Amino acid sequence: MDSSLLSEIESFFESAPPLKDRAGIADKLKEFIELNSPPSGSSRRRIVCVTSGGTTVPLEQRCVRYIDNFSSGHRGAASTEYFIKAGYAVIFLYRRGTYQPYCRSLPDNAFLECFEVTDESTVQVSEPHSEAVKSAIRDHHAAVAGGVLLKLPFTTIFECLQMLQMIAVSIRIIGPNAMFYLAAAVSDFYVPWRSMAEHKIQSGSGPLDMRLVQVPKMLSVLRKEWAPMAFCISFKLETDSKILLKKADMALKKYEMHAVVANELSTRKEEVVVVTNNGNIPVYRDKTQAGSDVENPLIKLLVDRHSAYIKDSGT
Ligand code: 9Z3
């Protein structure tokens, strides 16, 4: 691999603030992987790491201001549900405060809107929401109690990429049974921790000049070093549909992804195009079905592709 990229990656991680509770996260990962893929067991599940939501780039060490990347987390949350339905164990690496699996159909203010106080000591679910609340609680509990959903939150680009690296090196032992589904919107530029102001930047001294450094592309190192056997799906988001497929194809080749899901911001809930070395496959939401989403057919397609990949790799 390109040695300048390797040194950029090294300096990104070296300069990053240490991850809070690294040891606790490592324990959770170890336990989750052992449970779902016991070294000497026949009941091995495939494990997918779904990344979801946008990363922030802090501008101050004691952060008051930050740059953010757009993503509601809906794609990641919906996809997680479909992966679990398909028999996968999911490591859900998500931005705090974004959509969560099984809670997508609840209103924004779920706590206040779904419940009512009937007398001094009783809180009950208000009727229009009772089915949605019941199934959210039931399905979420089943996934967590069944040991097939591990949720790891991040806020900054530093936390997100440090955890992605930990996940990748811990699931490499399951080889081609591992999948990465990288739907998070990851910042392209960041302020290195060491050159970042410690305290809140003062506004009295006129316009703010700030130099942002390019975030080294972790996709190459994920594919080549961290988890070389894993099946890797990345996403390409554009607002200009004219350049979307070309950019997705460039990413496919440059980072040696197994597929790149191309989507345009305004139509992302209706259609995506799965770009592969054997051609492009458009995937649409089934408009004839109320409440349908594009993630349902998308995950079906990717699960089939993953099965073929596992078969090809002879395990
Ligand atoms: C995506 O393209 C996701 O599909 C969306 C999902 C973020 C658009 P929502 O969370 O939206 O349901 O609201 N994610 C990847 C975005 C991204 O930043 N990709 C990078 C790029 O396009 C490559 S890693 O350059």
DSSP string, 52-69: ESBPEEESBSS-S-EEE-
Give 18's contacts (C-beta < 8 A, 6+ positions apart).
none
Q: Are 106 and 99 in contact (CB under 8 A)?
A: no
For a pocket test of ligand 1, which of 49, 67, 71 has the largest count of ligand atoms closer than 8 A to its C-beta? 71
Query: For residue 41, what pLDDT is reported?
Result: 65
Q: What are the tens digits of pLDDT across the range 139-153? A: 999 999 999 999 999
- Whether pLDDT at 120 is above 70: yes
Ligand 1 binding residues, C-beta < 6 A: 71-75, 182-183, 185-186, 234-237, 263, 268
* CA atoms 102, 105, 107, 108: torsion sign: positive
Q: What is the mean pLDDT of residues 58-62?
A: 94
Query: Which ligand 1 atom is at minimum distance from the Cα of 265?
Result: 8
Q: Residue 205's CB: how many other CB atoms inside 10 A?
A: 7
Query: For residue 263, what pLDDT is reported?
Result: 98
Q: What are the tens digits of pLDDT across the range 166-193? A: 999 999 999 999 999 999 999 999 999 8
Distance between Cα 181 and ligand 1 center (Å): 11
Query: Which ligand 1 atom is at minimum distance from the Cα of 73?
Result: 10
Distance between Cα 207 and ligand 1 center (Å): 31
Query: Which ligand 1 atom is at minimum distance from the Cα of 69?
Result: 18
For a pocket test of ligand 1, which of 51, 75, 245 has the largest count of ligand atoms closer than 8 A to its C-beta? 75
Query: For residue 315, what pLDDT is reported?
Result: 62
- Whether pLDDT at 1 is above 80: no
Task: Give the span between the Cα atoms of 209 and 306, in whole angstroms.
Answer: 46
**Phi, psi values for residue 76, rounded to 5°:** -65, -40
- Whether pLDDT at 289 is above 90: yes
For a pocket test of ligand 1, which of 161, 236, 274 has the largest count of ligand atoms closer than 8 A to its C-beta? 236
Q: What is the mean pLDDT of residues 248-275?
A: 98
Task: Give the span between the Cα atoms of 255 and 241, in whole angstroms.
Answer: 21
pTM of the model: 0.96
ipTM over 0.85: yes
Q: What is the mean pLDDT of residues 280-290?
A: 97
- Whether pLDDT at 58 is above 80: yes
Give the alpha-carbon dihedral of 159, 68, 91, 276, to 10 degrees. Answer: -120
Distance between Cα 235 and ligand 1 center (Å): 6
- Whether pLDDT at 119 is above 70: yes
**For ligand 1, atom 16: residue with the closest CA:** 185
**Rounded to an integer, what is the distance from CA 4 to the centroid of its chain?**
27
Angle at 255 between CA 303 and CA 212, to 5 degrees: 120
